[in-house]
Amino acid sequence: MSPVEIAIFASVFFVFVMLVFVVMFFTTAGLGKRKEREFSFASSERLFELYRSAREDAPQALPVPSANVLSEQVRQAVADGALLRARVLSVLVGELRQEPDFCPRELAQVFLPGLHQLKKPVDMEIFFNVVAHPAIRTPLTPLLSVLANPLLFAACAPAAAHDLGGEHAASRRRSLEPVLGMVYQLSRLLLPFEPEVYYLDEEIDLLHAHTRQTELWLPSLVVGKLFMQRPIEEQRVLLARKMALFRPELRILTVFPNESGFVGQVSDLLRRLCDDRENTIPGWSRIPEPDRRECTEAARLLNPSPDDLQAWRRGAILTCFRLALLVTGQWQPMRAVISSENDPSVRVDLMAFMVRESYCDTILQLRA
């Protein structure tokens, strides 16, 4: 080869190597930002503003039409070209008739959107206007959201403190790759962060751990043998419901997970606010002054009874199911989860939720 040919070959090879490094750089940068999200949780000030605007006459329960009425609505939706709504209503017809595979012939090629087809996150307005159960559309929701933050900060600890070492990381197990994929997809829609996932070789289903990173509460998911034995569709539903608890509106349920503890402990916190003993609330000094003022005013205005707190807690649990159904979009796996937990009231609430036109409208909005 002549010196000129050698120089040309060397130049081409150098350019090729540089292109490889450039591609590797941007690919690595993209992976490093995998856990960043396009939206963030609303401020407490905005939450108080929004929940104060809730109408007091909001319906506490929505009726579920009969199968015949729903069948007529299916025909009308097909005539109007609202095929997604027709397909959703036909699912309810099949549920009422106990025919899980029921589907009118003209809707055979209409499929409910899958998780991967949803592009936009469920922001605060969608959550409030569409998903939130009427029982939590009250200033009590932002009040509990603010109180939860210092309590969660006090409860959280590094993963190692929860006996979740590197050997438990789901990322080290090939069999858990589908679970990691679902967590990533769901966190895109529900959270501004992606929870870490750990696996314990024990007879447990799905749990969460109050872990932290860089002095922030960033909860983790813990899956066990029982969870991995479930069909992947049910796993998706359970992950979505669990991750819904990490949102500000609902995370107080992770502080006090059982009913008696929730009612008793929250009642005590609210009494301290009403009796000018707010400084005795753990972490009160960590709450910004405007939020503290809002909390005190809301507690004195609402002064909720134990029955009110029970109703709020029940509404919050139903909201978790609603949010899980909205983003997963599949009724039969949700139905299987409900049946395994033996709570018929959840089935009724979710069916009423699906009947509303806003349900399909929101799916289309998230898919846009």
Q: Are 163 and 218 in contact, with CB atoms under 8 Å apart?
A: no
Q: Are 190 and 36 in contact, with CB atoms under 8 Å apart?
A: no
Q: Which residue has the higher pLDDT, 110 or 312?
A: 312
- The mean pLDDT value for 339-355 works out to 93
- The mean pLDDT value for 259-288 works out to 93
What is the H or E stretch that residue 96 is in?
A: helix 83-96
Residue 297 pLDDT grade (very low, low, confident, very high; cuts 50, 70, 90): very high
Going by the DSSP 8-state scheme, the letter that residue 208 receives in this structure is E
DSSP readout, 236-292?
A: HHHHHHHHHTTSTTTTHHHHS-SHHHHHHHHHHHHHHHHTT-GGGSTTGGGS-HHHH
Q: Give me the pLDDT at residue 316, please.
A: 97
Residue 166 pLDDT grade (very low, low, confident, very high; cuts 50, 70, 90): confident
pLDDT at 1 over 80: no
What is the H or E stretch that residue 17 is in?
A: helix 3-32
Percent of the chain with pLDDT over 70: 87
Q: Are 271 and 321 in contact, with CB atoms under 8 Å apart?
A: no
Q: Give me the pLDDT at residue 8, please.
A: 65
Q: Which residue has the higher pLDDT, 188 or 12?
A: 188
pLDDT at 9 over 80: no
- pTM value? 0.87
Going by the DSSP 8-state scheme, the letter that residue 199 receives in this structure is E
pLDDT digits (tens, 9 = 90+) for 216-247: 899 999 999 999 999 999 999 999 999 999 99
Q: Give me the pLDDT at residue 61, please.
A: 54
Q: Which amino acid is at 350?
A: L
Q: Give me the pLDDT at residue 271, please.
A: 95
pLDDT at 59 over 60: no
Percent of the chain with pLDDT over 90: 70
Q: Give me the pLDDT at residue 116, please.
A: 85
End-to-end CA distance of the chain: 58
pLDDT at 38 over 70: no
| The token pair that represents 145 in the structure block | 């959201």
pLDDT at 66 over 60: yes
Distance between CA atoms of residues 244 and 195, nearest Å: 12
Residue 262 pLDDT grade (very low, low, confident, very high; cuts 50, 70, 90): very high
Q: Are 263 and 307 in contact, with CB atoms under 8 Å apart?
A: no
Q: Give me the pLDDT at residue 204, please.
A: 94
pLDDT digits (tens, 9 = 90+) for 39-51: 688 899 999 999 9
pLDDT digits (tens, 9 = 90+) for 175-223: 899 999 999 999 999 999 999 999 999 999 999 999 988 778 999 999 9
Q: Are 251 and 313 in contact, with CB atoms under 8 Å apart?
A: no
Chain centroid, CA 67 distance in Å: 30
Place of tokens 């997970």: 257
